[in-house]
Amino acid sequence: MKPIYPLNIKNEFVFNPSPRDFTVEEIPLYDFTGEGEHLVLKVRKKEMTTWGMLDAISTHLGIRRRDIGYAGLKDKHAMTIQYISLPAKLEEKLSAFSHDKIKILDTFRHNNKIRVGHLKGNRFEIRLKKVLGVQKEKLDSVLKWIKANGVPNYFGNQRFGTNGNNWEEGKKLLEGTLKMRDKKTREFLMGSYQSYLFNKWLAKRMELNLLLEKFTESETEQVMGLPEGSLKGVKKQPSFYKLLEGDLMMHYPYGRLFEVEDLTTEAERFAAKDIAPTGLIPGSKTKRASGLAGYFEQMFDEEMKLFGARRYAWVQVTEIKKKYIEERAHYELSFVLPKGSYATNVLDVLRGEPL
């Protein structure tokens, strides 16, 4: 019998995102060549955003921030290690750089500037505190489930600001009821609204998955107001996340997009971690799902003059390692996620929080 999604396992622990308890290390997309007109820096920062780090380095070098290449943005409330690139002619000037929150760990020559998205993924190291008695056994059990199944790929809270309402301003910008001159802020807020719509869609699909764990296909159809027989055969799929007619899949962890043709076959490939389902980031020039999958997508699809995209709805958590320090009640955990995925999704499943 396959394990039930562990929402019924409530875990209590303390996690404070801080450089002492939270480390993120970028995994480069490729090896650096050792030659070329670009200098790649392996940089460690703490208690500052990637933008803040880029500003500090660019100010010291007397260049524009956009002249520095980076692969992704890293959390402010963590010790983070990432790779950036800049013109190699600045290497001598860089030698005088000093900052109390930034350390350059290594340098490499490379032929190309690092671009956004040029990373395989990120390695996370997290310390959970006040893990007492039976909680350790519960965490072990849920981690085993995560290793076998994966986690939902929600956008993290970082996308929505301190109060979680950045998406509201993004919506107003798209509707034209709010004006803003700063291009980067405007794009970030509108992207927050796209992320909000994706998360709402994924929550609806998670609701479907959870109902199918507890009820029959026909009962789930009635609860969700779906056409009779539309879920026939879906419940028996081996994975917790159920594929639907018309879903758009991608090879995993990257690859081409294609539509589900045979649910049984594609469900087996998904269980084997060869492919994964995708969800819609609404916008132009991106493909939409059809059939029953399209019905769920249409609830959270809006026309907007922004490029849309497809995003994995479900991701795998790899290289999981754990260590329990009983005398301190600390549970130390490390794992790897693909690029664009958030450690908070792993923590939410560990807590057994509703999704």
Buried b (16+ CB within 10 A) or exposed e, 190-220: bbbbbbbbbbebbeebbbbbbbbeeeebeeb
Q: Catalytic positions, please?
A: 75
Asked if 290 and 257 count as a contact pair (C-beta separation under 8 A), the reply is no
Report the alpha-carbon angle 277-282-283, nearest 5: 130
Residue 216 backbone class (left: φ over 0; alpha: ψ -120 to 50; beta: rest)? beta
Asked if 311 and 153 count as a contact pair (C-beta separation under 8 A), the reply is yes
Asked if 220 and 226 count as a contact pair (C-beta separation under 8 A), the reply is yes
3-state secondary structure of 233: coil
Residue 255 backbone class (left: φ over 0; alpha: ψ -120 to 50; beta: rest)? left
Distance in angstroms (rounded) separating the CA atoms of residues 315 and 273: 9
**110 bridge partner residues:** 38
Q: Which amino acid is at 332?
A: E
Tokens 């200098």, residue located: 39
Q: Which structure tokens are listed for 170?
A: 């993004």
Asked if 245 and 293 count as a contact pair (C-beta separation under 8 A), the reply is yes
Buried b (16+ CB within 10 A) or exposed e, 34-59: eebebbbbbbbbbebbbeebbebbbe
Cis-peptide into 253, omega within 30 deg: yes
Distance in angstroms (rounded) separating the CA atoms of residues 289 and 249: 10
